[in-house]
């Protein structure tokens, strides 16, 4: 039986997915309803087999060492660059996003892949640390060893960039990977696997399993050494619950409700441009997209006007050059409509568009102002091309309101004089000052959130260490004249030790 992913125009099948052997599902172009491709629904047995095969492959991959792995990851990077448009077309077909947005996503993938491969040795290699005064006879080292098999579960909104934040770093650290892409974007996952296999044909170091949520749950139960999950907070909780059965460690990257703060001395034109791009690009389906703005009263009127001037020119569409594409997951359309309705019902003002802007599968940009803080449009993730702009008396009040929610993924501050100070007050994993979303494009920076946005980090040195276990080793260099860690010690030994401690550690 062939089923349809829930983003398609057919009826959603998420809860009743057929996982019997041989069943398949179709990925659908959300712009046209046309079938992009048919993929297998992998059951628990298939997933467990994939993880078993991945374990053998991992031994080989790990033993290659950093340098040999880097050569292969670099070859993969060059292949991705040479086939960038092929991948962009697939991303565009499965998500509906315009071609340039898909290309931009892949540019970031390539840059992160480069960084992970180039820095894995430097970050994870064995290094000596001081053994300290007590253990001066020991040589102490720490190194970061690959976990083994990492299961990666990804969303559909950035079907290459988001999972590659885990896949590239996990591979560079010496792990093999079994990747479960979203049911909406299985083709992108399969494309990544195929191209990797072209440069690493020896062993299935990167595998892909496709299907619905059940396939993801099967991956959590399949005996991987770590699960890296990116998706909604609700599913993140389910993933944690499943992983807790086997004490499998998890990295959880979830949603956000990111705020942009506009201070009274901000470059308003730049802030408005950033607000519109951050909120509307990718049709607002960005975990670190701008969902709300807090603007200082004295500049609010001018700022709102600049936002409107920019946003009213943008049109969604299915053509490759559209400003924004469709809402990829059809069930999200109702969430967006309800958030707009709730904002207006509770006293907010629709400055641009409104409920009529929702024309499935497209949503025109919507600008809402003065929306009560407890409205769903301010408190919950909308994941659509909408912006809520609320006035505050000071930028500090803006930060306070931004910090009020349960999410804490990213944030943005526009201020000429106090950008860094305001940024450091935000309760988020990342902040951009006088630009938007830029932290995601800096491979050396860790990416992740707090609260309902999850925990753990991808990208950067922290992202590499996320996929490795620290191993501490002490090696005896010579025997100490006195040894307190033996039954052969005398009472004088410990007394002497305590006296020594008082002398060297008991003072200021
Ligand atoms: P979902 O939570 O619906 O799905 C994420 C992945 O989990 C999919 O592959 C899904 O498979 C799988 N899954 C579903 N149920 C289970 C289960 N019980 N066990 C294991 N895996 C399961 O998220 P979306 O795909 O809708 O993605 C959008 C969300 O992702 C937004 O909230 C967004 O903010 C967040 N996101 C967070 C990012 C971050 O870095 N913090 C980056 C990008 C997005 P299937 O699709 O087949 O149901």
The average pLDDT across 329-336 equals 97
- Could you tell me what percentage of the chain is helix, strand and coil, using 3-state DSSP and rounding each to the nearest 5? 45, 20, 35
Count of all residues that appear for the chain in the document: 508
pLDDT, one tens digit per residue, over 278-299 is 999 999 999 999 999 999 999 9
CATH (residue range 258-446): 3.40.309.10
Ligand 1 neighbours by CB, cut-off 6 Å? 153-158, 162, 180, 182-183, 212-213, 216-217, 220, 230-232, 235, 238-239, 242, 253-256, 287, 329, 381, 409
- Dist CA 430 CA 446 (whole Å): 8
Asked if the model's pLDDT at residue 8 lies above 70, the reply is no
**Which backbone phi and psi does 199 adopt, to 5 degrees?**
-95, -20
Per-residue pLDDT band at 38 (split at 50, 70, 90): very high
Taking CA atoms only, the protein residue closest to ligand 1 atom 25 is 155
The average pLDDT across 396-409 equals 97
CATH (residue range 24-253+459-468): 3.40.605.10
Taking CA atoms only, the protein residue closest to ligand 1 atom 34 is 255
Q: Which of 19, 42, 155 to mutate to test the pocket of ligand 1 (most atoms within 8 A of CB)?
A: 155
Beta bridge partners of 433: 413
> How far is ligand 1, taken at its centre, from the CA of residue 339, in Å?
20
> How far is ligand 1, taken at its centre, from the CA of residue 254, in Å?
8
Q: How many CA atoms lie within 13 A of 490 on its CB side?
A: 5
User: What atom in ligand 1 is closest to the CA of residue 14?
Assistant: 48
pLDDT score at 7 = 46
Taking CA atoms only, the protein residue closest to ligand 1 atom 40 is 253
pLDDT score at 11 = 38
pTM value is 0.96
Taking CA atoms only, the protein residue closest to ligand 1 atom 5 is 231
Same fold, 24-253+459-468 and 258-446: no
> How far is ligand 1, taken at its centre, from the CA of residue 233, in Å?
8
Q: Which of 7, 210, 235 to mutate to test the pocket of ligand 1 (most atoms within 8 A of CB)?
A: 235
- Dist CA 464 CA 251 (whole Å): 12
Catalytic residues: 253, 287
133 neighbors 504 (Cβ within 8 angstroms) = yes
pLDDT, one tens digit per residue, over 154-212 is 999 999 999 999 999 999 999 999 999 999 999 999 999 999 999 999 999 999 999 99
User: What atom in ligand 1 is closest to the CA of residue 287?
Assistant: 34
pLDDT score at 289 = 98
pLDDT, one tens digit per residue, over 347-392 is 999 999 999 999 999 999 999 999 999 999 999 999 999 999 999 9
Is the four-CA dihedral 152, 156, 158, 159 of positive or negative sign? positive
Taking CA atoms only, the protein residue closest to ligand 1 atom 39 is 253
Q: Where are the domains of the chain?
A: 24-253+459-468, 258-446, 478-505
pLDDT score at 19 = 66
58 neighbors 175 (Cβ within 8 angstroms) = yes
pLDDT score at 25 = 98
**Per-chain mean pLDDT for the chain:** 96
> How far is ligand 1, taken at its centre, from the CA of residue 324, in Å?
22
Unique residue bearing structure tokens 């930028």: 395
pLDDT score at 3 = 81
Unique residue bearing structure tokens 């009743």: 16
pLDDT, one tens digit per residue, over 43-94 is 999 999 999 999 999 999 999 999 999 999 999 999 999 999 999 999 999 9
């Amino acid at each position: 039986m062939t089923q349809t992913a829930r983003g398609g125009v057919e009826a959603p099948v998420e809860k009743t997915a057929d996982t019997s052997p041989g069943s398949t599902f179709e990925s659908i172009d959300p712009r046209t309803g046309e079938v992009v491709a048919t993929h297998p629904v992998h059951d628990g047995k298939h997933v467990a087999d994939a993880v078993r095969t991945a374990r053998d492959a991992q031994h080989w991959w790990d033993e290659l060492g950093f340098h040999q792995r880097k050569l292969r990851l670099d070859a993969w990077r060059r292949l991705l660059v040479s086939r960038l448009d092929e991948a962009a077309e697939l991303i565009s077909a499965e998500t509906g996003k315009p071609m340039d947005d898909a290309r931009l996503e892949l540019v970031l993938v390539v840059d992160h892949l480069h960084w992970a491969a180039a820095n894995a040795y430097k970050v994870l290699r064995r290094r000596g640390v001081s053994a300290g005064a007590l253990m001066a006879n020991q040589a102490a080292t720490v190194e970061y060893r690959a976990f083994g098999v990492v299961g990666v579960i990804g969303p559909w909104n950035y079907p290459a960039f988001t999972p590659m934040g885990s896949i590239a770093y996990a591979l560079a650290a010496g792990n093999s990977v079994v990747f479960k892409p979203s049911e909406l974007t299985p083709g992108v996952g399969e494309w990544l696997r195929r191209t990797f296999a072209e440069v690493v044909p020896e062993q299935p170091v990167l595998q892909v399993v496709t299907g619905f949520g059940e396939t993801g749950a099967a991956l959590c139960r399949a005996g991987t050494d770590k699960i890296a999950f990116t998706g909604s907070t609700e599913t993140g909780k389910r993933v944690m619950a499943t992983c807790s059965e086997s004490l499998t460690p998890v990295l959880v990257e979830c949603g956000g409700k990111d705020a942009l703060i506009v201070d009274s001395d901000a470059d308003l034109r730049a802030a408005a441009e950033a607000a519109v791009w951050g909120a509307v690009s990718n049709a607002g389906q960005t975990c670190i997209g701008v969902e709300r703005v807090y603007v200082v009263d004295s500049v609010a009127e001018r700022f709102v006007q600049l936002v409107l001037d920019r946003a009213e020119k943008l049109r969604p569409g299915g053509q490759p050059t559209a400003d924004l594409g469709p809402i990829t997951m059809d069930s999200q359309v109702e969430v967006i409509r309800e958030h707009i309705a709730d904002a207006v019902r509770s006293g907010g003002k629709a400055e641009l568009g409104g409920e009529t802007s929702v024309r499935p599968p497209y949503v025109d940009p919507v600008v809402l102002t003065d929306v009560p803080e407890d409205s769903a449009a301010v408190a919950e993730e909308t994941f659509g091309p909408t912006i809520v702009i609320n006035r505050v008396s000071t930028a500090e009040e803006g930060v306070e309101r931004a910090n009020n929610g349960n999410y804490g993924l990213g944030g943005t501050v526009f201020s000429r004089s106090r950008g860094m100070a305001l940024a450091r007050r935000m309760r988020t994993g990342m902040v951009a000052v006088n630009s938007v979303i830029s932290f995601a494009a800096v491979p050396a920076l860790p990416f992740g959130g707090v609260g309902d946005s999850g925990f753990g980090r991808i990208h950067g040195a922290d992202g590499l260490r996320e996929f490795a276990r620290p191993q501490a080793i002490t090696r005896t260099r010579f025997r100490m004249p006195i040894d307190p860690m033996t039954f052969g010690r005398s009472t004088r030994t410990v007394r002497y030790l305590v006296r020594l401690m008082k002398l060297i550690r008991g003072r200021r």
